[in-house]
Structure 1
């Protein structure tokens, strides 16, 4: 049978792994600079932990794990014959691969809240799985790099997370724009248009604006039984100016007497104003009134990060979720978090040529194999280099020197070392820099530095 990869998954070569580690190390360093502590949770959770947290569309994308053993033996025969997949799922599966890191984190907080010091700040860098249609920048298995704070309602957490985003992308040299909105603004818009009972339908459709355009959103709203009259009241959403504060001012007027919408405007105004007071360039922040993020659990601020120079969709996102732990029976633990999309960040950096040379892991020295006593002496010298933290290896066979040269060049090894009979007798080392093409002979002490 010809081997193949499961759709939406990838193998990573040594160069790709090294580059991914380069991104992760920068993010991890910044997470810890901002006071976040590491956490890891299992790859799979109880299915009941995950379902009902991501909205109807999200629930469909959860990878379910079949129960072990004869999982069909306990299935209701009528449900089996009727092919009722919703009823069958709960009978043949009680576990699922995690869809994101936020819900498992909320589950962890609910289980351990008596032992945690609040506000509790954690970061988590682990893979997640979604049964989505694979396409450029969208995979079924991918890494999320999350930073969350729970136990604080302060809007300065939002301001700090804006800083975390901007510093991290600045360190990666990726030019970005942070799009912001507030779930309360979306609730206010639904109230303004008289469609409060259709809030989820409204936000799910609105969140697809950049994918399906105004026409597609209007069509979907009509399909979700939202009247043309309500849609007309919301037409101004599609003609926003480039000035975030000006758009907020216009919205404030429309929300006169609309308590929830006004609160959303005030919260977002605070985050934008304080960010500007800290020296953030207004060009890096955009108030995106159509941003909804599509997840049911957000209650306040919503973030989405887009690369300025590559069409890639979002490379980061998040928001406030003040009642997520309630579904696990623990109330009054407000939370806010952001995520970095490692895989998409990688693609953006690759397209823009932003990976520095040190992001690739390369062997410094390859020792040519001459056989006999020279091989043992070469291994002794290799041990001394490794003790100094310098990468080195011996070509395993006593092959023709051209073959050893080819191996070094293909593997991207910087230097080929010759430790032959003459060098051992004289206490010297000869090595050739394969990048510059220069060859020199130096004393053993000078070589070991």
Structure 2
């Protein structure tokens, strides 16, 4: 009898903890499950950068104020919305459609019209008991209301670790002819957000793609003296075509567009466009690249007292990238367009804000004319403490410290680091933000 009671208690605990999973449809492409959002969000704000963004820069009260003025029109309040958002959440991806389930909350019935009004036409909102369901597709919304699907046992087990906030699962992730499965999680530790994503090979094509992602042992582009600033991206794979496949299929263009530098929007969009066009020449590229950006100078100019008194143009971010490949400048012009020019005996391709040269098996991208380009190493020495060139096919690091110093006059050690490893069975990405 005691065993039955223990099992019954565990069952009740599980049902109460993951009641939101009753809305998992029988078929889906990806699931994201968030637990105890209110508690985890409070812990996330203990991370200095999150606290600075949400509190000291006033983003949270600004959003709350905007929501309050709209919610009141529907007889709802931000406290009621916060209660709903502070519980659990389920996100379901199916094709191009998305559904979100929030709750449970005793205020759900008061929020249906308000949330529908906030999100506008084309978004479907419904109530099911104390849960709020939102979707971009009415059919997917109905499937979630019907439920009947299951989440993997390992997803539930991960929440036995109280630091785990988010768990993601995809049973089938198709990258052209390669098939993977995906498992990911996000934790909140004492002073940082920590994430891990692993894609597992599910067919021979996927295994071959993973082999092409293995790092080369002779990677040295990151040592280029023009690499510097606060933002760094290094790629080192055996076959550049594998980067091309992953980039196109996983839509990494979103990553470029979401780089948190609105001041550099034009320049980053230009780099993105040129990179995508360069992919067409992937058979002539080595699979090795290094990219860097310096924007602290932009923030310094923007906040300069003289800036508000004159029409002086704000400095552009300093951008530099180098890719291994034997491609003539004329071939690059055919792919990227632009005009070939010469300055101080250096031939380059002028792409209206981005300048490209090609020599000695290296294609270089500059934010100014190559003969006039200069850069500071900036955070380079600091980020090299995190980097293992021969073991990491992809490495990303953003040092927020100099940016925060220019922006707020604060000396805060804040950094985002993304590392990766690969073998024949899996590609693993680990990251943290502190």
TM-score (norm 1): 0.27
Larger Rg computed on CA atoms: 1
* Greater share of residues in strand: 2
* Greater share of residues in helix: 1
TM-score (norm 2): 0.27
